[in-house]
Structure 1
Amino acid sequence: MTDASAAPQDAPRLAETFAEVEDALLSRWPETRLEPSLDRIEAFTELLGSPQRSFRSVHLTGTNGKTSTSRMIETLLRALDLRTGRFTSPHLEKMSERISVDGEPLDDEAFVRAFNDVAHYTHLVDAEQEHPLSFFETMVGMAYAAFADAPVDAAVVEVGMGGSWDATNVIDADVAVVLPIAVDHAKYLGEDPATIAAEKAGIIKPGAVAVLAQQTPEVAAVLLERAAEVGATVAREGIEFGVSSRTPAVGGQVVSLQGLRGRYDDVFLPLYGAHQAQNAAVALAAVEAFTSGTLDDDLVRAAFAEVTSPGRLEIIRRSPTIVLDAAHNPHGAEAVAAALEDSFSFSPLVGVVGVMEDKDAEGVLAVLEPHLTFVVCTQNSTPRSMSAAALGRVATEVFGEDRVSVVPDLAEAIDRAATLAEAGEAIDVSIGAGAVLVTGSVVTVGEARGLLKGRR
């Protein structure tokens, strides 16, 4: 008689539910713990049969804008009747958002199946390598295997962090997209943009097309040097492609985009801010490079009109208006501030801010200060969150004591801010056009989104 308890200890435990997959993945090294190497992911994908070689891909890096641009690229590719896979990170509300096929995140059943398909091999890699597979590496393996299994015609893949040694970089993408580079994750990537650019440039592969968003001169020099080294073709925003014009409009903006092979006028983009218009130009150039052809005007207009980017200047509620934006570094906050000036006339605008411990909280708050009448400092539910009290001390230095309150519970913080926005006279501002901006972290915004969607 066989005793089930005598099964090999290293045999994988297959999951039956989404919660079990989540638990198994979260028990691995978190995304914040890094050991710069492609050894584990290369061993993992090799055991999986190198699924990443079965589809063409567009690979994106940069400091901000990756997820929005990924969603735009995917929407354009789907309009061309290509079957797509999309891998993005981090997620806003649910882990399975990271892996999409045909424009939709994997449902619970498909997510469990994707995990079980690779679970047989995770323990083999763990046993052979100095360090076990991380959460992120396992997710990348799941995504690439799911894309191969679908099968997809094209994958749109966003790096997790950096480029050269990011786990996603086992693909050799046809098109490498580099969005604007600024300082973030300095502990891992470097203290200045040029050093960070050298790491991110690693996604530019021999023979690829490198689609480069507008960069500072020192960053551009690093990227161009890498492209020359590997023989990649370069397309630069402001030279080979770009935004010809943009006008804020109800629900977004109307843009004219100069692509690599054509100009596309009167394109409605249902997202706010000049940065999203620039993301759209980058996405268009990436798809033109991927398809090697001019796109139909009507197809481009129809595709961009469908684009969504949850948690990116997303109006989640009215009366008062509540806007969510996942800006988590000064560069991202600058884009939000410019969009607020450009597209909205909220008065008062009350901020609900929750940031991660390792982020430049003072830098983010300093950028937002001229635009916020009042700020409610809060925190999200993760251990990595800066405490509301610590953030409050930083905010008091930036805003002054009279414009800051500290409310650790996120739901209460949003309620406090909504009350202040609705009762503008309490802070000497006219009633009627008040709004709340929830920002500071993808996690904070994801948790707020979950709370507010339930109330709509």
Structure 2
Amino acid sequence: MSPRPDDAQREAARQVEQHRRMREIEDAILARTPEHMPEPSLHRVARAMELLGDPQKAFPVIHITGTNGKTSTARIIERLLREAGLSTGRFTSPHLHDLRERISLNGNLISRERFIATWDDIAPFIEIVDAESVAADGPPMTYFEVLTVVAYAAFADAPIDVAIIEVGLGGRWDATNVADATVAVLAPIAIDHTRLLGDTLELIASEKRGIIKPGTIAVVARQEPEVDELIAERVEEVGASVRRIDQDFSLNEREPAVGGQQVSIQGLAAIYPDLFLPLYGEHQALNASIAVAAVEAFLGGGEQPLETEIVTTGLAEVTSPGRLEIVRRSPTVLVDAAHNLAGAQALREALNDSFTFTKLVGLVAILQDKDADAILEALEPMLDHVVISRTTSARAMSPTELGKLAEEIFGEDRVTVIRDLPDALDQAAALADDGGVGGGVLATGSVVTAAEVRLLVGAGGDGAESS
């Protein structure tokens, strides 16, 4: 039966009001200190949690830190747990297009209705914490701290069986660390965010290992020896346990395939052969191995095999938008969120592994606080030409400055500088077309670059809303 005209009008009015309220809330959150400028302390978030009745204690947590691969690993873990029949909440950052992408319930971004209701519930307590902090000469709660509170409150209200939580930055004092992890995943740790975490692997690892708590099972990716030592120290110090890749679990085999790759994984409790993973590159196969081990650790302490169908179906249905993602054909346009040296190196290896282009043109826009030289040097061997541009981010490096760096690395004849990203994408596509049917465009340099190119080609969005 079709809705009556008055019902349709009421629904349309409700939708308009919902969009207005959502914009109002987003503006209020965005007005706070941004996430790339955190205020290192757990006090404000812990106080908000206390006032709300500690919602982060209402569900077990799988907590994920590291330098690269966190979001993909979180998405794989969540998909496996949902396939196992559990109700899930996922908190990741940053988002590509919509703030609500960060908070997922059962694989779908939180609905506007639920986000607004959660905000209305927590806003008075946020105001209390802000006032207390300012009175003590401290800052109000930051953008990321407030979103963390929204996520934990929404998850507790849903309710959920398990939360998969990605740290925002570091670990020890990250806002998400008010929760105590049942399983802590330590993805590969490399140099990044040196202004906030330190300029050595030891300093960075010392911050990230802080998510390991008493009784936690730590699932650890391949790390440098000095990082492994610091993780072992933390495990012993707090009475946790550890499971390491290549010792307790492993990626046994992998082979590129159409649309992804075939992998065989040795988990903590069983071997899972002949799995299709619709993501590209060894780094994603390793992420899948870590995810399987984390799920085994969570569901049975690492001693009970997962049902083969759970792993087979779960991995086959994984998505990771903005991570070496094909967003257009003719020419092929790929987007990747690589924004540091380790990410660019993994991207280069995955491209060499899984793609063959007659001509590959890079569309590169990088944020000004990143190591642009290192990123460009890692990309240079695989790009025939690079088009330098900028995103709409206030943190974007100027195309002129980035172009000069690119010319030093690529040579002037392989560099084109175009300020506006839409025009830069058109030029990159035209250059790729010169390579014939095998030409391609790779848009990379930041999450914002991947997001804005996705929108330009009509590939925005990340799933349906939750109820």
TM class by shorter chain equals over 0.9
Match of 1:141 in 2: 149
**Per-residue displacement from partner, 1:357-397 (whole Å, max 9, x unpaired)?**
00001100000100000000111101111111111011011
Q: 2:404 aligns with which of 382, 385, 393?
A: 393
Match of 1:369 in 2: 380
Letter in 2 for 1:251: G
Match of 2:455 in 1: 450
Cα 1:443–1:186 change in 2 (3 A) is: same
Q: CA deviation at 1:444?
A: 1.2
**Cα RMSD over matched residues?**
1.3
3-state DSSP class of the match of 1:411?
helix
1:331 and 2:342 are equivalent in the alignment:
yes
Q: 1:435 aligns with which of 418, 440, 445?
A: 440
Match of 2:98 in 1: 94
Letter in 2 for 1:268: F
3-state DSSP class of the match of 1:165?
coil
Alignment of 1:203-218 (within 5 A): 203-218=211-226
1:175 and 2:183 are equivalent in the alignment:
yes
1:380 and 2:391 are equivalent in the alignment:
yes
Match of 1:242 in 2: 250
Match of 1:185 in 2: 193
**Per-residue displacement from partner, 1:375-429 (whole Å, max 9, x unpaired)?**
00111101111111111011011101000011111111111000000012xxxxx
**Per-residue displacement from partner, 1:4-51 (whole Å, max 9, x unpaired)?**
xxxxxxxxxx99521111101001111122221111001111111100
Q: CA deviation at 1:97?
A: 0.3
Cα contact 1:15–1:21 (8 A) shared by 2: no
Give the Cα separation in 2 of the matches to 1:294 and 1:451. 44
Give the Cα separation in 2 of the matches to 1:59 and 1:223. 15
Match of 2:75 in 1: 71
1:307 and 2:318 are equivalent in the alignment:
yes
3-state DSSP class of the match of 1:378?
strand
Give the Cα separation in 2 of the matches to 1:454 and 1:71. 19
Cα contact 1:317–1:452 (8 A) shared by 2: yes
Match of 1:11 in 2: none
Unaligned runs of 5+ in 1: 1-13, 425-430
Letter in 2 for 1:100: S
Match of 1:47 in 2: 51
Cα contact 2:327–2:459 (8 A) shared by 1: no
Normalised by the length of structure 2, the TM-score is: 0.92
Give the Cα separation in 1 of the matches to 2:201 and 2:419. 34
Query: Kindly, what percent of the aligned residue pairs are identical?
Result: 54
Q: 1:111 aligns with which of 112, 115, 136?
A: 115
Give the Cα separation in 1 of the matches to 2:390 and 2:47. 38
1:37 and 2:72 are equivalent in the alignment:
no
Letter in 2 for 1:107: S
Give the Cα separation in 2 of the matches to 1:219 and 1:411. 41
**Per-residue displacement from partner, 1:46-94 (whole Å, max 9, x unpaired)?**
1111000000010000000000000000001101111000000000111
Cα contact 2:39–2:142 (8 A) shared by 1: no
Q: 1:287 aligns with which of 263, 288, 295?
A: 295
Cα contact 2:101–2:109 (8 A) shared by 1: yes
1:131 and 2:136 are equivalent in the alignment:
no
Q: 1:83 aligns with which of 78, 87, 91?
A: 87
Q: CA deviation at 1:454?
A: 6.1
**Per-residue displacement from partner, 1:116-166 (whole Å, max 9, x unpaired)?**
221111110000012100000000000000000000000000000000000
Give the Cα separation in 2 of the matches to 1:378 and 1:118. 40
1:20 and 2:24 are equivalent in the alignment:
yes
Cα contact 1:15–1:112 (8 A) shared by 2: no
Give the Cα separation in 2 of the matches to 1:117 and 1:97. 20
Cα contact 1:15–1:116 (8 A) shared by 2: no
Match of 2:327 in 1: 316
Cα contact 1:377–1:405 (8 A) shared by 2: yes
**Per-residue displacement from partner, 1:244-281 (whole Å, max 9, x unpaired)?**
00000000000000000000000000000000000000
Give the Cα separation in 2 of the matches to 1:108 and 1:324. 27
Aligned length: 437
Cα contact 1:16–1:112 (8 A) shared by 2: no
**Per-residue displacement from partner, 1:140-198 (whole Å, max 9, x unpaired)?**
00000000000000000000000000000000010000000000000000101111001
Letter in 1 for 2:411: G
Q: CA deviation at 1:114?
A: 2.2
Q: 1:406 aligns with which of 385, 410, 417?
A: 417
**Larger displacement relative to structure 2 (108-117 or 280-289):** 108-117
Give the Cα separation in 2 of the matches to 1:399 and 1:160. 33
Unaligned runs of 5+ in 2: 1-17, 461-467
Give the Cα separation in 1 of the matches to 2:415 and 2:118. 46
Match of 1:263 in 2: 271
